[in-house]
């Protein structure tokens, strides 16, 4: 199958969401999917439909909403998984993809699957055949391919292509391979698999030893034409390959990576990269490291005098990418409390958020309150209110009011009022600080118990009246799995922001418990 451009397969909503603390609700996943579509990814892997009713609903809603990208649902090689995935991606019509996977490495065969080589080939072929009877576009992944015997891997690849797979993915599941080794694996498949021309070879790299981007690019040089990864590199353990880094490597150095100078080897609109990174960070609660390539706040900040002088004389002296090409520096006049609903809506759309009228009403109320307490509402302020509003709008518990008393000679005390189903509940607690007192008061009202495992605060804009944005990770005791749940909250007062973040995490926990029940 001839494919000149590299297909971008985004798995932020599946592999990325497996990252501890990154779980998103349906509304948040939809925001991410819409922005991925604006970025121009070719395939969105929207989830693992058999995993839960919530996953199924997310995949089918995304399949219904997204109009340009292919939508994939993951499935193990079992009839139940494959039929569930087919039903979930069906609303995408001829853009529906089923992604079946089965491990092939000796370790997985012996200890996880307890299957012989022959059984693995048979199960893979049966899975692909069933998927092919339900959709045209079938991808097969040989999990842990990079630790699989090359001759056996080639046998599996050939068999699944004969069974109907049009994309074959060879993941480095545990982030173990090296660029030379991974490229050699691709070259081996191209040389030894009889029908290799009938499929697109795909790669999927994890970052356990920090080689995910290098491995992905070396596989592309060797002929792989689909890359799988996530925005901001979120994912289990050390994460997946960061797609924005792969995209900008291909854009900046096409000739070094096997393409013609001046070619654009992908379909992405790179000016949407920073916006996409922000949307993913806000929706997933995963903070982007300041020095992260391409999308970190410091990625284009030059502090030394020599660099600043060079940049002023000629940008290319110290910059290999024009920041505007990835969407940095597109700042507009800040909004104020006098800005109207239409202006707020238009600005939100430019920031990558599509809100329903009801959601907008809720956000606009908060915008007005924030506008009363600070002169200018910057884009980052506004974007940080989005998650808060989306979540609050759909959540069980809503924040009404908090009051606290703290100081060096006072016992920190907080009184919190929350609303549930239109009824208000108030309670007070003391704590070792005002934040702790607020969290305890929330626990008392909601009859929950959360252990704070991470707390971060940062100002969304400059100046003393900046909005404080708090991100927390909390472990709640309950039925849902015991992974920490992240929450975000924003307010001009950081204690209020912290309480909103804690409540946001609690509401996510309740939604997750409901989905798993
Ligand atoms: O890392 C991996 O092997 C995967 C597969 C399910 C594609 O995520
Ligand atoms: Zn993976």
Tokens of 306: 């020599």
Give the number of other Cβ atoms within 10 Å of residue 464's Cβ: 7
Output the pLDDT for position 510. Answer: 87
Give the DSSP H/E element, type plus range, for residue 471: strand 468-476
DSSP 8-state secondary structure symbol assigned to residue 108: I
State the Cα–Cα distance between residues 239 and 472, nearest whole angstrom. 20
Q: How far is the CA of 313 from the centre of ligand 1 (A)?
A: 46
| Per-residue H/E/C for 413-460 | EEEEEEEECCEEEEEEEECCCHHHHHHHHHHHHHCCCEEEEEEEEEEC
User: Which of these, 145, 102, 106, 107, lies nearest to 120 by C-alpha position?
Assistant: 102
DSSP 8-state secondary structure symbol assigned to residue 469: E
Output the pLDDT for position 188. Answer: 98
Tokens of 395: 């959540």
Q: Show the ligand 1 pocket: residues with CB < 6 angstroms.
A: 15, 101, 141, 143, 169, 171, 173, 204, 206
Pocket probe mutation, ligand 1, options 16, 171, 182, 235, max atoms within 8 Å of Cβ: 171
DSSP 8-state secondary structure symbol assigned to residue 275: H
Helices (H), 53-116: 53-65, 79-89, 106-107
Q: pLDDT per position in the chain (517 positions), as tens?
A: 666 899 999 999 999 998 877 778 898 899 999 999 999 999 999 999 999 998 999 999 999 999 999 999 999 999 999 999 999 999 999 999 999 999 999 999 999 999 999 999 999 999 999 999 999 999 999 999 999 999 999 999 999 999 999 999 999 999 999 999 999 999 999 999 999 999 999 999 999 999 999 999 999 999 999 999 999 999 989 999 999 999 999 999 999 999 998 889 999 999 999 999 999 998 888 889 999 999 998 888 766 666 677 767 777 877 789 999 999 876 667 888 889 999 999 888 888 788 888 889 989 988 998 888 888 888 878 887 887 677 665 689 999 999 999 888 889 999 999 999 999 999 999 999 999 999 999 999 999 999 999 998 988 776 777 788 898 999 998 655 567 888 888 888 999 999 999 998 998 888 877 766 6
What are the strands, taking DSSP E only, across 118-254?
137-143, 167-169, 200-204, 226-229
Q: Contact, 243 vs 15, CB < 8 A?
A: no
Q: Contact, 123 vs 115, CB < 8 A?
A: yes
State the Cα–Cα distance between residues 32 and 26, nearest whole angstrom. 10
Tokens of 5: 């451009």
> Which ligand has the nearest atom to the CA of 75?
1
State the Cα–Cα distance between residues 461 and 452, nearest whole angstrom. 26
Give the number of other Cβ atoms within 10 Å of residue 472's Cβ: 31
State the Cα–Cα distance between residues 444 and 429, nearest whole angstrom. 8
Output the pLDDT for position 481. Answer: 57
User: Which of these, 373, 395, 370, 372, lies nearest to 383 by C-alpha position?
Assistant: 370
Give the number of other Cβ atoms within 10 Å of residue 13's Cβ: 30
Take atom 2 of ligand 1 and give the residue whose Cα is closest: 173
State the Cα–Cα distance between residues 339 and 356, nearest whole angstrom. 19
Measured in whole angstroms, the distance separating CA 74 from the mean position of its chain's CA atoms is 16
Pocket probe mutation, ligand 1, options 10, 15, 72, 98, max atoms within 8 Å of Cβ: 15
Q: For the whole model, what pTM was predicted?
A: 0.86
Q: Contact, 507 vs 391, CB < 8 A?
A: yes
DSSP 8-state secondary structure symbol assigned to residue 259: S
Q: How far is the CA of 491 from the centre of ligand 1 (A)?
A: 39
State the Cα–Cα distance between residues 12 and 31, nearest whole angstrom. 12
Pocket probe mutation, ligand 1, options 46, 140, 204, max atoms within 8 Å of Cβ: 204
Output the pLDDT for position 394. Answer: 67
DSSP 8-state secondary structure symbol assigned to residue 110: I
Helices (H), 193-321: 212-221, 243-252, 273-284, 305-313
| Coil, strand or helix at 451 | strand
State the Cα–Cα distance between residues 346 and 338, nearest whole angstrom. 15
The number of the ligand 1 atom at minimal distance from the alpha carbon of 103 is 3
The alpha-carbon radius of gyration of the chain (Å, integer) is 24
Which position has the token pair 């060096």? 408
Percentages of the chain per state (helix, strand, coil), in multiples of 5: 50, 20, 35
Q: How far is the CA of 173 from the centre of ligand 1 (A)?
A: 6
DSSP 8-state secondary structure symbol assigned to residue 496: H
């Amino acid at each position: 199958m001839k494919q000149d451009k590299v297909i971008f397969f985004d798995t932020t909503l599946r592999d990325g969401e497996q990252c501890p603390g990154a779980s998103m609700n349906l509304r948040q996943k939809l925001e991410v999917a819409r922005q991925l579509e604006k970025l121009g990814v070719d395939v969105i892997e929207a989830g693992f439909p058999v995993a839960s009713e919530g996953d199924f609903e997310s995949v089918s809603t995304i399949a219904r909403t997204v109009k340009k990208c292919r939508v994939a649902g993951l499935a193990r090689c079992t009839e139940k998984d494959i039929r569930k995935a087919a039903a979930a991606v069906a609303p995408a019509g001829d853009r529906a993809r089923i992604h079946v996977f089965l491990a092939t490495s000796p370790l997985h065969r012996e200890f996880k699957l307890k299957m012989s080589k022959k059984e693995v080939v048979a199960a893979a072929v049966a899975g692909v055949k069933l998927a092919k009877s339900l959709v045209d576009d079938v991808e097969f992944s040989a999990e842990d391919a990079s630790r699989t015997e090359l001759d056996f891997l080639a046998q599996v690849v050939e068999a699944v292509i004969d069974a109907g797979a049009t994309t074959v993915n060879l993941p480095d599941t545990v982030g173990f391979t090296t660029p030379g080794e991974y490229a050699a694996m691709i070259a081996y498949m191209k040389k030894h698999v009889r029908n290799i021309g009938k499929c697109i070879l795909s790669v999927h790299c994890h970052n356990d030893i920090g080689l995910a981007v290098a491995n992905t690019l070396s596989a592309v040089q060797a002929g792989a034409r689909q890359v799988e990864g996530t925005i901001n590199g979120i994912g289990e353990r050390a994460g997946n390959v960061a797609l924005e880094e792969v995209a900008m490597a291909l854009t900046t150095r096409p000739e070094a990576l096997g393409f013609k100078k001046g070619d654009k080897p992908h379909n992405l609109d790179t000016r949407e990269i920073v916006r996409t990174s922000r949307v993913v960070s806000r929706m997933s609660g995963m903070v982007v490291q300041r020095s992260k390539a391409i999308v970190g706040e410091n990625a284009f900040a030059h502090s030394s005098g020599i660099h600043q002088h060079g940049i002023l004389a000629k940008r290319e002296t110290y910059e290999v990418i024009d920041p505007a090409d990835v969407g940095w520096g597109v700042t507009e006049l800040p909004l104020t409390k006098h800005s109207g609903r239409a202006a707020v809506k238009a600005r939100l759309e430019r920031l990558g958020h599509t809100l329903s009228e009801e959601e907008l009403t809720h956000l606009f109320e908060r915008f007005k309150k924030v506008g009363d307490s600070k002169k200018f509402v910057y884009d980052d302020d506004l974007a940080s209110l989005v998650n808060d509003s989306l979540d609050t709008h759909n959540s069980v518990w809503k924040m009404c009011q908090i009051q606290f008393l703290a100081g060096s000679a006072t016992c920190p005390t907080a009184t919190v009022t929350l609303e549930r189903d239109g009824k208000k509940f108030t309670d007070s607690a003391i704590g070792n600080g005002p934040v702790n007192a607020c969290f305890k008061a929330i626990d008392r009202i909601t009859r929950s118990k959360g252990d704070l495992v991470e707390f971060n605060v940062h100002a969304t804009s400059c100046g003393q009246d900046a909005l404080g944005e708090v991100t927390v990770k909390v472990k709640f005791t309950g039925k849902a799995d015991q992974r920490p749940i992240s929450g975000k909250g924003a307010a001009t007062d950081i204690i209020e922001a912290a309480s909103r973040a804690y409540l946001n995490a609690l509401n996510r926990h309740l939604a997750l418990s409901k989905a798993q029940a």
